[in-house]
Amino acid sequence: MLTKDFDIRVFSNMEQLSIDWPDADDKTGCAFFVFQSKSFIRAWEASYGQEPGVQLCLTEVRQTDDTPLLFLPLFITRICGSRVLSFIDGGA
Per-residue confidence (pLDDT) for residue 36, from 0 to 100: 81
> 73 or 4, which is more confident?
73
Q: How far, in whole angstroms, is CA 72 from its chain's centroid?
A: 4
Mean pLDDT across the stretch 30-34?
Answer: 68
79, part of any domain: yes
Nearest CA to 10 among 67, 74, 54, 65?
A: 74
- Is the pLDDT reported for residue 67 higher than 50? yes
63, part of any domain: yes
pTM for this entry: 0.78
65, part of any domain: yes
Q: Which domain holds residue 71?
A: 2-17+32-87
Q: How many domains does the chain have?
A: 1
* DSSP-assigned letter for residue 37: S
**Amino acid, single-letter form, for residue 47:** S
**Using DSSP, how many helices (H) and how many strands (E) does the chain show?**
1, 4
Q: How far is CA 28 from CA 22, 53, 68, in A?
A: 9, 35, 13
